Amino acid sequence: SDKCWQECMDVAVQIARRAGQMVREAVKQEKRVSTKSTPADLVTEADRQVEEVIISTLRERFPSHRFIGEESSAAGEKCILTDSPTWIIDPIDGTCNFVHSFPMVAVSIGFAVRKELEFGVIYHCFEETLYTARKGHGAFCNGLRLQVSKEKDVSKALILTEIGAKRDPKTLKIFSGNIEKFLSAPTHGLRIIGSSTLSLCYIATGAANAYYQYGLHCWDIAAAAVIIREAGGVVIDTSGPLDLMSRRVIAAGTQEIASFIVQQLEPISYERDDHD
Ligand code: IPD
């Protein structure tokens, strides 16, 4: 199976690049935008088309595998992780950025076997940078080995987060409260770039020290979790080990910074990805 998963990963890299090319072409066209769970949860024709190309190509190649995709889930397919080899796909992460041609958009392909993440591939469509990692084999960006920042002191940390789809007053109050806590900790600063997967890649490269978010999905975290861990970092749930379906994540270069974030955060509740 070791050789087999490597073959899957090689295919994932080819498809991610091809999907990235589709995104670069689609961004020049007029976009048909609609909304999903909330007015801030966007989807375009391109999201659906790219996911369709990725899944149909993989299904043809690996007919016994299972697939979890952002747009298939939005269309009503169940989002449940079994022991079978499972591909977990976000065709366009940063859809809102894509709609505005704001250049932080990625294709994310994760792969799990027996519910364990085996590899992750994330392609930054406009920068054309490829992030890859396979369990036990290290993390890379365009072939160069990645290493997280070893900073332990939160007062020297750069923190990343994302807003999430809920914008009701209660959610926004908790969201701003959390930001205020981290800015006054104090820390060096906080950034919101509009793509969960690329934010997580910047933890792996050491460009930022921590990431936290409520409301992300399993396809935002699956590939990135392998990349961060293989770069020496920590990826956890706010209340224990990483749970792909919980819609919560904290990632950091060091356990010290991750623990600090856990202690400070006030939670925002979202429905699990694997709800009935
Ligand atoms: C979303 C983006 C956004 C984050 C959401 C994600 P999508 O992914 O990464 O920045 O706040 O939680 O679901 O919808 O653009 O693929």
Q: Is there a catalytic annotation at residue 237?
A: no
Q: Is there a catalytic annotation at residue 95?
A: yes
How does 225-241 read in b/e, with b if 16+ C-beta sit within 10 Å? bbbbbbbbbbbbebeee
Q: Tell me the backbone φ, ψ of residue 168, rounded to 5 degrees.
A: -75, 155
Would you say the CB of residue 220 lies under 6 angstroms from ligand 1?
yes
Residues 6+ apart with CB under 8 A from 20: 107, 123, 124, 125, 128
Would you say the CB of residue 216 lies under 6 angstroms from ligand 1?
yes
With a cut of 80, say whether residue 156 has pLDDT above it.
yes
C-alpha of residue 264 to centroid of ligand 1, in Å: 23
> What HEC string does 237-261 produce?
ECCEECCCCCCEEEEECCHHHHHHH
Would you say the CB of residue 253 lies under 6 angstroms from ligand 1?
no
Chain segment 109-151, per-residue pLDDT in tens: 999 999 999 999 999 999 999 999 999 999 999 999 999 999 9
| Model confidence band, residue 236 (pLDDT cutoffs 50, 70, 90) | very high
Residue nearest to atom 12 of ligand 1 (CA): 216
Closest ligand 1 atom to the C-alpha of 95?
A: 15
From the candidates 47, 51, 71, 93, which is the catalytic residue? 93
Q: Is there a catalytic annotation at residue 129?
A: no
C-alpha of residue 87 to centroid of ligand 1, in Å: 18
Instruction: Give the residue carrying structure tokens 């978010």.
Output: 213
Would you say the CB of residue 196 lies under 6 angstroms from ligand 1?
yes
Q: Is there a catalytic annotation at residue 276?
A: no
Residue nearest to atom 7 of ligand 1 (CA): 93
As a whole-number percent, the residues of the chain with pLDDT over 90 amount to 96
Q: Residue 67, class by beta-carbon neighbours within 10 Å (0-12 exposed, 13-18 middle, 19+ buried)? A: middle
As a whole-number percent, the residues of the chain with pLDDT over 70 amount to 100
For residues 89 and 109, is the Cβ–Cβ distance under 8 A? yes
With a cut of 90, say whether residue 160 has pLDDT above it.
yes
C-alpha of residue 165 to centroid of ligand 1, in Å: 8
Chain segment 42-83, per-residue pLDDT in tens: 999 999 999 999 999 999 999 999 999 999 999 999 999 999
With a cut of 90, say whether residue 94 has pLDDT above it.
yes
Chain segment 14-23, per-residue pLDDT in tens: 999 999 999 9
- State the pTM of this model: 0.97
* Closest to 246 in 3D by CA, of 211, 275, 203, 225: 275
ipTM score assigned to the predicted complex: 0.93
For residue 236 the two structure tokens come to 């956890």
Would you say the CB of residue 118 lies under 6 angstroms from ligand 1?
no
The reported pLDDT for the residue numbered 99 is 98
From the candidates 118, 162, 220, 243, which is the catalytic residue? 220
Bridge pairing between strands 158-161 and 210-214:
parallel
The reported pLDDT for the residue numbered 276 is 81
Would you say the CB of residue 95 lies under 6 angstroms from ligand 1?
yes
2-26 helix and 45-61 helix, angle to the nearest 10 degrees:
150
Would you say the CB of residue 85 lies under 6 angstroms from ligand 1?
no
Q: Distance (Å, rounded) from C-alpha 133 to C-alpha 152?
A: 24
Would you say the CB of residue 90 lies under 6 angstroms from ligand 1?
yes
In the predicted model, what is the mean pLDDT of the chain? 97
> What HEC string does the chain produce?
CHHHHHHHHHHHHHHHHHHHHHHHHHCCCCCCEEECCCCCCEEEHHHHHHHHHHHHHHHHHCCCCEEEEHHHHHCCCCCCCCCCCEEEEEEEECHHHHHHCCCCCEEEEEEEECCEEEEEEEEECCCCEEEEEECCCCEEECCEECCCCCCCCHHHCEEEECCCCCCCHHHHHHHHHHHHHHHHCCCCEEECCCCHHHHHHHHHHCCCCEEEEECCCHHHHHHHHHHHHHCCCEEEECCEECCCCCCEEEEECCHHHHHHHHHHCCCCCCCCCCCC
Residue nearest to atom 11 of ligand 1 (CA): 164
Q: Is there a catalytic annotation at residue 15?
A: no
With a cut of 80, say whether residue 1 has pLDDT above it.
no
